[in-house]
Amino acid sequence: MQATCVRALEKSAQFAPGTRIDRWLFSILHSIWISDLRARRVRMGQGFVDTEDLLAPDTHEQDEDRQRYQQIMHRVNALPEAQRNALFLVYVEGFSYQEAADTLSVPIGTIMSRLATARATLANTASVPPAAKEKRW
């Protein structure tokens, strides 16, 4: 957040009066985040961190909701970065297609294509039946 505020102050002349400042700030935040991810990949030679590493350890037995959440997050994390970014901007952040396109500096058709491909990929991976559970006699 600090880096976003600093960058916004440095680039304040680029803000267009009459537009939404939250979208402009989010665009700056996204740019900083992408740059940081790329820098980390170069330094560490790694991609995204597994969701299991991001979750706080659970001392209780995992319930079905948590397991379902983990399955969904694994599928989403398996998407290419461009599709994942479009998916989060539209479905999590609530951006319109045009706002997401402006934030990512791509045409609106690209957002629509990325979302369609991401939805199809997620639907195909969801239709794969889970491993059969062992039956105990």
pLDDT of residue 67: 78
pLDDT of residue 132: 41
Q: What is the pLDDT of residues 33-76, one digit of tens each?
A: 877 877 776 666 555 555 555 555 554 555 677 777 888 888 88
Give the side-chain half-sphere CA count within 13 A for 63.
2
CATH 1.10.10.10 fits 64-128, yes or no: yes
Give yes or no for residue 98 having a pLDDT over 60: yes
**Averaged pLDDT, 116-126:** 88
pLDDT of residue 112: 95
pTM score: 0.53
Burial 111-120 (b: 16+ CB within 10 A, else e): beebbebbee
pLDDT of residue 39: 73
In the chain, domain spans: 1-49, 64-128
Secondary structure of residue 78 in the 3-state scheme: coil
> What is the four-CA torsion angle of 46, 49, 53, 55, rounded to 10 degrees?
170
Cβ neighbours of residue 87 closer than 8 Å, sequence gap 6 or more: 76, 79, 114, 115, 118
Residue with more model confidence, 135 or 10:
10
Give the side-chain half-sphere CA count within 13 A for 49.
8
Per-chain mean pLDDT for the chain: 77
pLDDT of residue 27: 83
Q: What is the CA radius of gyration of the chain?
A: 19
Q: What is the pLDDT of residues 14-41, one digit of tens each?
A: 888 888 888 888 888 888 887 787 777 6
